[in-house]
C-alpha cells in the first residue's frame, strides 16, 4: 500500500483520489508517521437500490442538483398547506 505525505496529498489530491477510485488504498503520513488511510467508499444498500432504479428506468438523474418543478403546484381551493398544518397543531 503506497504512502503519501500530507503536503504531497494536498498538492495532488485529484491524482490520489483517482487512484482510490480505482480501488487502491493509500496511507497518509505526517512526518513519516501514518495518520490515516484513504480507501474506496463501501457501497451501501441504498446506493445499490438507487443504481437499480436508474438502470431499470424507474428513475433518472442527469448528475446535477434537483431543480424542482418548472410550474409549482398551486392549491386553488381551501386553506393553504401552511394554514392547514397550523390549524392541525391547534
Q: pLDDT (tens digit, 0 to 9) for every residue of the chain, 90 residues total?
A: 899 999 999 999 999 999 999 999 999 999 999 999 999 998 889 889 988 999 999 988 888 887 777 777 776 788 887 888 899 987
pLDDT at residue number 8 = 96
pTM above 0.75, yes or no: no
Please say whether the beta carbons of 8 and 15 come within 8 A. Answer: no
* CATH class name, domain 1-60: alpha beta
What's the order of all strands across the beta sheet hosting 33-38?
Answer: 3-5, 26-30, 33-38
pLDDT at residue number 60 = 85
Please say whether the beta carbons of 29 and 35 come within 8 A. Answer: yes
Amino acid at each position: 500500500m503506497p504512502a503519501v505525505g500530507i503536503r504531497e496529498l494536498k498538492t495532488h489530491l485529484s491524482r490520489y483520489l483517482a487512484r482510490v477510485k480505482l480501488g487502491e488504498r493509500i496511507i497518509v503520513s505526517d512526518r513519516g508517521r501514518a495518520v490515516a488511510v484513504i480507501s474506496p467508499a463501501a457501497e451501501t444498500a441504498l446506493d445499490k437500490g438507487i443504481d437499480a432504479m436508474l438502470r431499470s428506468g424507474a428513475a433518472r438523474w442527469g448528475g446535477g442538483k434537483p431543480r424542482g418543478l418548472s410550474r409549482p403546484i398551486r392549491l386553488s381551493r381551501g386553506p393553504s398547506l401552511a394554514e392547514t398544518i397550523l390549524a392541525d397543531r391547534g
